[in-house]
């Protein structure tokens, strides 16, 4: 007896979707939509834009699924599409001269030390991390989110960002170092 469609691995669902079974792609959407949406929220800082971009990413993925050569690499491929959608969106916003200020951390504010407050409340920790991420350049922020939120390896991050491994490593390590200083030793 075959597996339920919701239990089948990504690669099998991708192959089924390529053979014209829309319910297989639906299963992939259900499995990954929240991850991609969260990734886009952390990139853009705006949930409403993240939702539109998430829809756009999956629509684009559905249209171009035939171009995915290795179904095993569906997660990296999907995140790459989402990332590109976020970048296109950011470019369009800059062209329309829309302000993209998220969180302005006042100059001279002391970094909040992780150890000082003892056990952080979950909400406080999220605010702290959100402020810390907002200070990073976009590429470093991407690398950090891909590593700590989604758990991708360095090689996969390089693939998603479309850059050499050494560049991805620099972005990730520099970002981590910045965050370490901000969050505090």
Partner 1 sequence: MGCREWETELTDWVLDELPPPKAQQLEAHIGECEECARSAQRLRGVRQALVSGLPNREMPAHLVLVGEKPQGLWPGFWTAFLRTAALSAAAAVIFLAVASVGFRYGGTRFLPAAARVERTLTRTELQALVAQALSEQASRQRKEMQAATMDLAASLRAEQIRNMDSLQQQLQYLELAQNTVWKETQRQNAVIRLVARNQLQPLASSPADPSRR
Question: Which residues make up the interface to partner 1 (CB under 8 A)?
Answer: 20, 22, 25-26, 29-30, 33-35, 37-38, 41-42, 47, 50-52, 54-56, 58-59, 62, 92, 95-96, 114-115, 120, 122, 125-126, 128-130, 144-145, 147-149, 153-154, 172-173, 176, 179-180, 183, 185
Min dist. Cβ of residue 68 to partner 1 (A):
16
Residue 41 or 86 with smaller CB distance to partner 1: 41
Interatomic CA distance for residues 136 and 161, integer angstroms: 16
Interatomic CA distance for residues 143 and 161, integer angstroms: 8
Min dist. Cβ of residue 154 to partner 1 (A):
6
Contact 57, 82 (CB under 8 A): yes
Q: Is the four-CA dihedral 155, 28, 63, 138 of positive or negative sign? A: negative
- CA angle, 160 then 17 then 22, to 5°: 120
Neighbours of 147 (CB within 10 A): 19
Min dist. Cβ of residue 11 to partner 1 (A):
19
Residue 80 or 172 with smaller CB distance to partner 1: 172
């Amino acid at each position: 007896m075959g597996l339920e469609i919701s239990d089948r691995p990504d690669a099998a669902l991708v192959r089924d979707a390529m053979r014209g079974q829309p319910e297989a792609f639906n299963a992939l959407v259900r499995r990954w939509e929240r991850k991609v949406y969260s990734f886009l929220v952390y990139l853009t800082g705006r949930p409403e834009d993240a939702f539109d971009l998430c829809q756009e990413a999956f629509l684009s993925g559905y249209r171009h699924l035939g171009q995915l050569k290795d179904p095993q690499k569906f997660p990296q491929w999907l995140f790459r599409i989402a990332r590109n959608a976020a970048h296109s969106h950011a470019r369009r916003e800059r062209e329309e001269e829309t302000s993209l200020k998220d969180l302005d951390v006042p100059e001279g504010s002391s970094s909040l030390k992780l150890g000082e407050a003892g056990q952080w409340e979950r909400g406080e920790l999220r605010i702290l991390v959100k402020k810390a991420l907002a200070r990073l350049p976009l590429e470093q922020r991407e690398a950090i989110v891909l590593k700590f939120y989604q758990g991708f390896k360095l090689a996969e991050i390089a693939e998603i960002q479309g850059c050499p491994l050494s560049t991805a490593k620099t972005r990730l390590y520099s970002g981590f170092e910045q965050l370490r200083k901000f969050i505090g030793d």
